[in-house]
Amino acid sequence: MADVIDLAEYGEGFRDDPHPVYAHLRERGAVHRVRLPPPESYDTWLVVGYEEARAALADPRLAKDVAGLDVQPVEEVIGKHLLTADPPQHTRLRSLVTRAFTARRVEALRPRIQAITDELLDAMLPLGHADLVEAFSYPLPITVICELLGVPEMDRAAFREMSNEFVAPTSEDGLVRSVDRLAAYLTDLIEDKRCAGPADDLLGALIRTTAEDGDRLSPQELRGMAFLLLIAGHETTVNLITNSVHTLLRHPAQLAEVRADAGLVDAVVEETLRYEGPVENATFRYAAEPLEIGGTAIARGEPVLIGLAAADRDAARYPAAHRFDLHRDTQGHLAFGHGIHFCVGAPLARMEARTALRTLLRRAPGLALDGPPGEWLPGMLIRGTRSLPVRW
């Protein structure tokens, strides 16, 4: 058995900036046996090299479905969804979801996304300073995804609390409670929509959608998909917007370039996805059979964590990868994953982040940091800060 590297030994510095640790690990090899920091505190394989990560993301021997393995999955409470299924079940689920979550439905959101962005800035800008997360980065995507799915406005504060504890757990008990609360909430929401009749929202469309052979999502699958779309549909975008602004404000020369040419906003978003993407590590995979990754033997049933942030800073793929560079070719970055589990919501996240950044820079030409950011989120899943003080 390989030596276990205890990531907790790196202290709070690892949470604040894990990139030097990942760079050190890459120098020693592409795959390592690590112990995750609390509250997880268990052992897993961690992939930190770009080529190895890209290959692992598309390797069918790394399973998402833990059936037959000694693992206690969240899906027992929430229900099956795209990130806990393998083909052919994954193929079926993705087909049914994409029938409702179409490119046309996403594109139709563009005017509404712009309107919400302007409304938030109308309220924020007269203040002269704000916490960007609280005033802008969080309310934009949560409003968009809740309107898209049909979550009542009165429920959004409670949903935020449950969601935050799930993606950045402060304790094992807190994680379990958040899963139970989310499951109960989504069960009631879906039942309310069934009883209310056809609704012109995504959750209503998922309830109604039917394949040519009459296949539909089961109640448990509906709950699982609603969970995935709600959590992934806002937590990642909150931190993509925040990380984009935070990174750009720390690079004044490139900020000046974007102010002079708004066409560079798309490049800001893509380079942020590579340089400081909102998902630090992909959700767990498990070896369905013995295999090798980067020359390292992985036994059947062992968990594998694929480091998206680590891979996207691999200098073997991106020269001077530690530098934020708007003129870099970011093609192939892994921020949205790769293979059959590539993020179904990537077009929506990109649209929201581009709209938010372009409008914010136009309407707040003096935008600047107003102190250090809040603490970085705990856990190994989401990369972002709890707050970002800005002024203008």
Mean pLDDT by 10 residues, the chain (392 residues): 87 93 97 91 95 97 76 67 89 84 85 98 98 96 88 80 79 82 88 78 80 75 86 88 98 96 97 98 95 96 97 98 97 97 92 97 97 93 96 97
Q: Are 373 and 388 in contact (CB under 8 A)?
A: yes
Q: Which helix (H) or strand (E) holds 35?
A: strand 31-35
pLDDT at 352: 97
In this predicted structure, what is the pLDDT of residue 20? 97
Please name which of 174, 120, 169, 131 lies closest in space to residue 386, comparing C-alpha atoms: 131
User: Exposure pattern of 101-119 as b/e (b: 16+ CB <10 Å)?
Assistant: beeeebeebeeebeebbee
Cα separation of 237 and 235, whole Å? 6
Task: Report pLDDT for 70.
Answer: 52
* Closest-CA residue to 43 (of 32, 53, 54): 32
- All domains of the chain in start order, with CATH: 4-391 (1.10.630.10)
Residue 210, φ and ψ in degrees, nearest 5: -140, 135
Angstrom distance (rounded) from CA 222 to CA 285: 22
